[in-house]
Structure 1
């Protein structure tokens, strides 16, 4: 039987080992749905959900996330999600149809249904690359090439556009998967220079970022830190890199003055897989360390914020392992008092947050927590004791409100029990995809912390002494809304005993459910209005 362009698209995804994709059908991409019959293509209710779900899946698994959407507005609806994936280095492949090639007139927008003057150009600022198939024969090769680019460190999203008429045309053989180019390797001379600086350091500090987690460098970083006797600070994107029992893991976040002092006292900082972004450094008001060594796959990325004394360009796991060779093992850093100080800060500043964080810590191993841009999410992002890599997902690359629920659909689609932490405002961005949650019966608990509006923005206005404007929201009965989709749901007030009982019940369940908690939490120190370094806001 003759294969069509849509068939070859499906074959390319199978060759890549794609087990699940997220999409929304449209008149232009129906052949793709036909070609993927019998494979797992999860239909969502908004294209932005497809992008976020693909991102959540990619972060929870380390695999390629795939979003399949239709032409024009369908493709454009993914842009917010794609921007977050780009900022967080998440390997997402967006495949969108475009108007028929036979109706395209170069340089002229003729008014074809869903026509955009240059659809690929919409994606150029928020992707690693854009591709457009010119013939049916090119579809598979373009998809394979785009996927290879998305997965290559530093990973990120890639766009593929396919004129809709090519999906039904005959297509030739699929071709081979591109062979990955070898990653750069630092010289032994530079490795030895870095090793000597680290060995001579009296107060070394390791700062590990998302690139370290994506490279799977946790064991190597832990071993190096033990040899150096160095505390390890992890960024939002690297939470879970080291196990909570590791003797060198400093408590999060570095925004807490007690933890930030580790940076201030360090005589040598080793940054691994990080760009020292504004959110982590309080807009670069952390002073440059006396000596900065960096490991990064991209030298420009490594140097754009704090000029390093030495850059080792290469894979974080391999370079870190080489750095540890021959170094004697030192005593672990004294961190117990620091951990107690951070815990005391939580209990003093917001006792309800302490209870909430304890509930997160008691989740079964392997449970993935996905947090939104909300006050409860900020507490989780800063202080949740993440036990394993890829079990905490947080949108602090671009900072996209409304990320939590749709991204948690993708994480749960991997098969992992998942908990979404969202607020009433952010949940309303995508609550229509409760239909997707019900349809797929995903293992997901959605925790909606309802403070009647945008609690973080309300705090900002209070700090400035102005009236609340635009931040207090009329919201639905979330429990009734969830139950209308056939999803079990309940509500409690505050993070007390009733919450703990309901939380234990729902997070142990096999299928989907929703728990609404009526509570207004004070924002933690990792939110910009509370940054302690002067002038940081």
Structure 2
């Protein structure tokens, strides 16, 4: 069998340890499917999961990366196919998901300065430059393996993020010489970050001294801390300092929910916001203090700020630190703990955090009892090892803020871009990545942006449960609340936000997906959710219920 560019690409992905890639075939990418059939067992467990819309391929690759901690791969075709992934890559970039997008480009023999051949967009790579860590061009079929390896390494290197590779369509069918220079599969470079320079000893000692002398230290853990596996080290340091741990949405689950120092609710809850307001020194680990967490900077700068980060620019762009420890979060925190003896006050802190938890839960039950019922139902019924994948919707906001996550990588949120329609396609990648069950919680409006992926879910028999919270308003609920605040009783604006919605149960069943509907989050919802999340097949549960959004920020800011 002669080796083509398509064979080389697939073999390289398999050698990199990729087990699932999400793809949508097109005229320019058909050689990949032919090559997959040719190679059979030569690509290990790699499989191409066919999606129905290009954004879904990139969202699914994002979900796969989040749950596995490895590389997510999407393969799409030229022009409109590739450009359809831009919104999804923006979300991956904001969430530091290592997604490798491989897109065919116009055949090398037909390239023109501007639009010319079928689906050609001139410099296709240029569209991706602002959303990705890097873009790569394959200049010869023999280069495919080397370029894909280099792109994969770039994607996973901290700060991780999406990377684009453009392959001229004709290269996939042309002969590609096997690599014989010692960089074949047996010698593939590991997809791990190169070691960073050690933090200067004087900086480390200054940070230790500041934390030991602080009367009210606080640890703020972000997504970078979770990605580095720093949870255990953070837990140890927090106990020694008797310091509360506040996590960003990206770091939910980084320490166990019963850790004595964990403030399990978001800093936006007024009760938790007081911890930030009272802190005299904050140790910020793996975070850039983005607008989502700080409400666009309305959170006040702490008196003292120590930042631990692999990215100097990200660590300093919003809240300038007094001291920057540049390095891997886990390694830096472990070294920082050396020489710090346990401080008094741990029991008192635990009691304070327990009291905060009681007061937050009491307030949530009072302000939105249906949300409290919903969160309790999820906790009681979702199987261990499942991953919740909320969308940008009111129900998703409640989960992101107040659901008690049991462990790392058990919650996947559209963090930085607020991308509506992320949840369902991302849950396909989560399911393919090995989750016991991917539980997508979405809304009637958000689900419609990707409902065609019901075909993917049933065809691949993915363990996905979709919970559609249908408020019956026929509107985008979040936009609706803002609209009436700004334009009360404006009939023109009203008409722009009104929606016509389908029979979601009938829609799901038309794809062969089991579905049912229930009113509210009571006993019937619990029973059906327990049944659905223990199925071997994908399914859809529609809930007729109306939720108000959670409070956005501490009233003191």
Smaller-chain TM-score range? over 0.9
Determine the C-alpha separation between the residues in 2 that align with 1:469 and 1:263.
42
1:460 to 467, 470, 482: 482
Determine the C-alpha separation between the residues in 1 that align with 2:384 and 2:213.
38
Matched, 1:166 2:166: no
- Unpaired segments of 5 or more residues in structure 2? 41-45
Aligned to 1:35: 35
How many pairs were matched up? 529
Q: CA deviation at 1:110?
A: 5.3
Range that drifts further, 178-187 or 309-318: 178-187
2:555 to 526, 532, 536: 532
Q: CA deviation at 1:13?
A: 0.3
- Unpaired segments of 5 or more residues in structure 1? none
Matched, 1:424 2:447: no
Kindly provide the CA deviation profile for residues 55-76 of structure 1, in whole angstroms up to 9, marking residues without a partner as x. Answer: 0010011010000000000100
Determine the C-alpha separation between the residues in 1 that align with 2:304 and 2:267.
19
Aligned to 1:143: 148
Any idea what SS the aligned residue of 1:348 has? helix
Range that drifts further, 36-45 or 401-410: 36-45
Aligned to 2:528: 502
Kindly provide the CA deviation profile for residues 286-338 of structure 1, in whole angstroms up to 9, marking residues without a partner as x. Answer: 11111000000011110100110000000000000011112112342231110
Matched, 1:520 2:546: yes
1:385 to 399, 404, 408: 404
Q: CA deviation at 1:169?
A: 1.5
8 A contact 2:59–2:426 mirrored in 1 = yes
Kindly provide the CA deviation profile for residues 330-364 of structure 1, in whole angstroms up to 9, marking residues without a partner as x. Answer: 34223111001110121011111001111222222
Determine the C-alpha separation between the residues in 1 that align with 2:556 and 2:10.
52
8 A contact 1:145–1:177 mirrored in 2 = no
Determine the C-alpha separation between the residues in 1 that align with 2:266 and 2:7.
48
Determine the C-alpha separation between the residues in 1 that align with 2:390 and 2:58.
16
Aligned to 1:20: 20
Aligned to 1:4: 4
CA RMSD of aligned residues (A): 1.3
Q: CA deviation at 1:531?
A: 6.2
8 A contact 1:23–1:67 mirrored in 2 = yes
Aligned to 2:462: 442
Q: CA deviation at 1:36?
A: 2.3
TM-score by length of 1: 0.96
2:69 to 62, 70, 81: 62
Aligned to 2:43: none
Matched, 1:89 2:93: no
Any idea what SS the aligned residue of 1:510 has? coil
Matched, 1:116 2:121: yes
TM-score by length of 2: 0.93
Any idea what SS the aligned residue of 2:103 has? strand
Aligned to 2:360: 342
Matched, 1:278 2:297: no
Determine the C-alpha separation between the residues in 2 that align with 1:371 and 1:531.
23
Aligned to 1:288: 301
Q: CA deviation at 1:177?
A: 2.9
Range that drifts further, 360-369 or 317-326: 360-369
Q: CA deviation at 1:88?
A: 0.6
8 A contact 1:285–1:533 mirrored in 2 = no
Determine the C-alpha separation between the residues in 2 that align with 1:260 and 1:469.
38
Determine the C-alpha separation between the residues in 1 that align with 2:425 and 2:108.
33
